[in-house]
Amino acid sequence: MIDLADLPIEMDYELTVDDHVEAALHHHESSPSARRFRRGALLGGSGLILGTALLGGGALTAIPLATLGVFVVFTKALLPRIQREQLVALFREGRNRGFVGRQRIVLSKLNVTAINEVQETKTRWSGVERIVVSEHLIHIYTNSVRAHIVPKRAFPSEAAFLQFLGIARELHAAASLSENAQPQLPQR
């Protein structure tokens, strides 16, 4: 059982390209601006196609309606697959040392620290924007698009996963409360 008294908590795990692809797709899927864009494109495209169908009338109505069906299938079924393939290709372009492979995350009272073979990133809890859980990952966002990701498979059990997540959220919430009460510059 992990307790706040046990801080710092260190977690070692392996990250894969698939983890990063899942994180990017989850972010894109849950991003408010991306959702607004998709909704606008779907409504605008649907309205244009239906308007054309209504104005065309008769036998010409079937063509725009079929186009609408193809459009919906493309955006819901094919586009996510294309995005996944593009992301995998992008992630495989470089050596990505530190991007994939062995990682360590350290939760302390003041910071979350991500460590790998080539870098160490320390972020004060007050600098963490949010903590999100997707199907297979914990995302600790340090800005609107960048997150430290920890796969659920790194934990020996669901209970250990939930405990780690709870502690991270508690540290984040405590930093948010203390930041609102009295902002401080980091000590050197």
Domain ranges of the chain: 4-16+100-181, 23-91
Residues 6+ apart with CB under 8 A from 167: 2, 4, 9, 107
Are 145 and 134 in contact, with CB atoms under 8 Å apart?
Answer: no
Tell me the pLDDT tens digit for each residue of 112-171: 999 999 999 999 999 999 999 999 999 999 998 899 999 999 999 999 999 999 999 999
Give the pLDDT confidence of 2-32 residue by residue, as tens digits.
566 778 999 999 999 999 999 998 888 887 7
pLDDT in tens, 31-47: 777 667 666 766 776 67
How far apart CA 157 and CA 162 sit, in angstroms, is 9
Dist CA 69 CA 167 (whole Å): 46
Quote the tokens at residue 182: 């009295």
pLDDT at position 104: 97
Is a pLDDT exceeding 70 seen at residue 188?
no
If one compares 56 and 171, the residue with the highest pLDDT of the two is 171
Furthest-apart CA pair in the chain: how many Å? 76
CATH number attached to the domain at 4-16+100-181: 2.30.29.30
